[in-house]
Chains A and B, each alone.
Chain A
Amino acid sequence: MSSYQQYIDLFNAQRALIDEHAAPVLNAQREAAAEVLQRVGLSRPKDYTHVDPEALLAADYSLNLSRYAVPTDRSDLFTCAVPELSTSVHYLVNEQLVSHSREGDDGVFSGSLREFALRYPDIAARYYNRLAMHDEAPYDVRTQSTNVTAHRPLGEAALNTLLCQDGFVLYVPDGVVVERPIQLISLLRAVEDFMACQRILIIMGEGAKASVLICDHASQLRDCKLLSLQVTEIFCAPYSSLDFYELEEHHADCRRLSSVYVEQHEGSSAAVGQYALTAGQTRNRVFIDLLGHDADTHLYGLCIADRDQQVDNITYIRHRAPKCHSDELFKYVLDEEARGSFVGRILVQEGADKTDAHQTDRNLILTPQCHMVARPELEIYADDVKCSHGATTGQLDPVALFYMRTRGIPEAEARLLLMFAFMGDVIDGIRIDPLKDRLKHLVEKRFRGELTQCRTCAIKK
């Protein structure tokens, strides 16, 4: 029996309780989610990926379906000091927003998904779960080319939809520019094995502009397993611009199954960054659909893993309209017995002429025990396109190491400098300068083994 069955059973038994603490827009999707989950099941690792969602979800996690308040005051939990980012900060504990939702005179809403769905059911219904569930891609691709599994909705995303009760929403109406970056500090916190169904919805109106930074942390009060089952849906209306960066700063006992869906219309620009600084077992999936001409995408990823950590990044960029540009860059540094996997698929659909798509994956493996799989996949069905991909996996340059040592730089320090330099371009891709500086600092600390948590967030346990 697949491990999803226990969640279907739970849903059938607790349906009233789940619905009671959520909004009708969310509840309306649950039946369909159950059907999808039963039809497609949960993902299993391929021979080129490591994390096994089916196995991870087999454990008996507790959930907080009754929405018991997290027994902490927000001011107890966080003292966030990111003055130079001057962000407006929201706090999510498990899947529950513990800060107040904000609604500006300009119509920008940032805050609880539940509240948003109750207050604006029409808008919420128009966007919620549209990408996660309808990933079947009814577009016209030559039949022999379709990889059926890649187009199916994901069981993990359906499971999130089945049980999700709250989350975070950013809604930016047409023409509104949100100047200050919005930061969401998301904390996993439990005293027993726990699963959080986190949901994020970002709706960018025409010509709207915003940037969002999510910091994922975990506070492990006892020895227990924490699973973050996360779905993020992002809509970029024509000529909107969004920066979406997510920093994972979990610990070795955390599991993370994340699916990010981005839909971009003409002339929109999106930067998506996935930075795994500390992970236990992480599987990030990013789907980006370029639906309108002249859309522009930058997808960045960074992974630093050691011990027996596993990080899979599975990305899929679909060029479905002409003259779009996508630039993808992922970098891994694996140490000790860490395992990593990068699967990067770019599909250029027929008619998506003048596509300009580039993908780069570079990896450093520091010990013979590490394992890295890189799998670039380009499928091109248009004639007039510019596409490239490159994947390399190697070790630190021994000649550079020696050169540095002859100048008196100790070997360990020389290795650090080289690893840090290796990550340089992926960090430089960040379009928020203070975040760039901060990530540099965090990456350096991580390489030095000094990172226990994102200091600037200063989470008190």
Chain B
Amino acid sequence: MSLLEIHNLHASAAGKEILRGIDLTINPGEVHAVMGPNGAGKSTLSAILTGNPQYEVTQGEILYKGRNLLEMKPEERAWEGIFLSFQYPVEIPGVSMVNFMRTAVNAQREYRGLPALTATEFLRLMREKRAVVQLDNKLANRSVNEGFSGGEKKRNEIFQMAILEPTLSILDETDSGLDVDALRIVSEGVNRLKSAERSSIVITHYQKLLEYVQPQFVHIVYRGRIVKSGGPELGDRIFAEGFDWVKQEFEG
């Protein structure tokens, strides 16, 4: 069974249609890259998959593990293993990272019928996963993303992903604004989670991340549709030639 099936997805925000018929199937273990010019609808796709209430699905359906994803609340999607690494991670003053993640982990465990982690168990988990993305302990003790640099915020996203161990992870331009070292750390964090069951959608503008995570599939989104799909060679062509040929092909 496919992990995710998107059929003819149309969606709008503030009355403006952004997605105009997306079709995409993702099987367990696959890594898909989604590329496309700015404003094509890539981030909208990730917002729809995670249930952002600011977007409205006007047509189409999404099946996740065979269930109607659109009927599920954002938190339920998280419990079922969907994770979004935000393009712009949100600062939450006054909510500590520890409290935030412990609440998240224990809500997930409760959903899965597992006992809540004790404080000690949780701190051990934090320590272990923090090492994966080399996140400073000081940051882990601060409020969520508050006062974090751009790179630290992105690493914090991967840190959260490492803790929650999602089945379907969506990385929305996680590589933007990262220096080479941070990009390597983030990519290693992503690769460490790869398995035969887990899948990823990687939204990116840059070649470097794709070199690290090596997607089997590359999709080009343009004007709210997937206008071209292929293997890694499609990514290479985009990096070499840009999007103009895709636009011409699509409009011509």
Contact A406 B95 (CB under 8 A): no
Residues on B with beta carbons closer than 8 Å to the beta carbon of A406? 50-51, 74-75, 77-78, 82-84, 86
Complex Cα gap A421–B95 (Å): 6
Complex Cα gap A150–B186 (Å): 61
Which among B73, B86, B93 is the interface contact of A403 at CB below 8 angstroms? B86
Contact A408 B75 (CB under 8 A): yes
Residues on B with beta carbons closer than 8 Å to the beta carbon of A411? 73, 75
Contact A407-B95, Cβ < 8 Å, known A402-B52, A413-B107, A417-B103: no
Complex Cα gap A411–B108 (Å): 13
B238 to chain A, nearest CB (A): 28
Closest residue of chain A to B82 (Cβ to Cβ) is A406
Contact string against B for A residues 376-401, beta-carbon threshold 8 Å, 1 for contact and 0 otherwise: 00000000000000000000001110
Question: Which of B86, B94, B100 is most buried by chain A, counting CB atoms within 10 A of its CB?
Answer: B94
Closest residue of chain A to B88 (Cβ to Cβ) is A399
Question: Is residue A424 within 8 Å, beta carbon to beta carbon, of the partner chain?
Answer: yes
A329 to chain B, nearest CB (A): 14
Contact A400 B107 (CB under 8 A): no
Complex Cα gap A61–B108 (Å): 53
Interface size on A, residues (CB 8 A): 21
Residues on A with beta carbons closer than 8 Å to the beta carbon of B119? none
Interface residues of B in 34-54 (CB under 8 A from A): 50-54
Contact A409 B107 (CB under 8 A): yes
Q: Is chain A's binding surface mostly helix, strand, loop or mixed?
A: helix
Contact A405 B90 (CB under 8 A): no
The tally of CB-CB contacts under 8 A between chains A and B is: 78
Closest residue of chain A to B101 (Cβ to Cβ) is A407
B29 to chain A, nearest CB (A): 23
Contact B107 A410 (CB under 8 A): yes
Interface residues of B in 61-96 (CB under 8 A from A): 73-75, 77-79, 82-84, 86, 89-95
Contact A409 B100 (CB under 8 A): yes
Question: Is residue B160 within 8 Å, beta carbon to beta carbon, of the partner chain?
Answer: yes
Contact A407 B160 (CB under 8 A): yes
Contact B95 A417 (CB under 8 A): yes
Question: Is residue A447 within 8 Å, beta carbon to beta carbon, of the partner chain?
Answer: no
Question: Is residue B171 within 8 Å, beta carbon to beta carbon, of the partner chain?
Answer: no
Closest residue of chain A to B78 (Cβ to Cβ) is A408
B145 to chain A, nearest CB (A): 9
Residues on A with beta carbons closer than 8 Å to the beta carbon of B51? 405-406
Complex Cα gap A411–B79 (Å): 13
Complex Cα gap A425–B101 (Å): 21
Contact A408 B95 (CB under 8 A): no
Complex Cα gap A406–B108 (Å): 11
Which among B50, B94, B104 is the interface contact of A421 at CB below 8 angstroms? B94
Closest residue of chain B to A408 (Cβ to Cβ) is B78
Interface residues of B in 83-135 (CB under 8 A from A): 83-84, 86, 89-95, 99-101, 103-105, 107-108, 111
Contact string against B for A residues 29-48, beta-carbon threshold 8 Å, 1 for contact and 0 otherwise: 00000000000000000000
Question: Is residue B11 within 8 Å, beta carbon to beta carbon, of the partner chain?
Answer: no
Interface residues of A in 404-461 (CB under 8 A from B): 404-411, 413, 417-418, 420-422, 424-425
A-B contact pairs, 11 of them (CB 8 A): A402-B53, A405-B73, A405-B75, A405-B78, A406-B75, A406-B82, A406-B84, A408-B75, A408-B79, A408-B104, A409-B103
Q: Which 10 A-B pairs have the closest CB atoms?
A: A421-B94, A408-B78, A405-B74, A403-B90, A407-B104, A424-B94, A408-B108, A405-B75, A421-B95, A408-B104
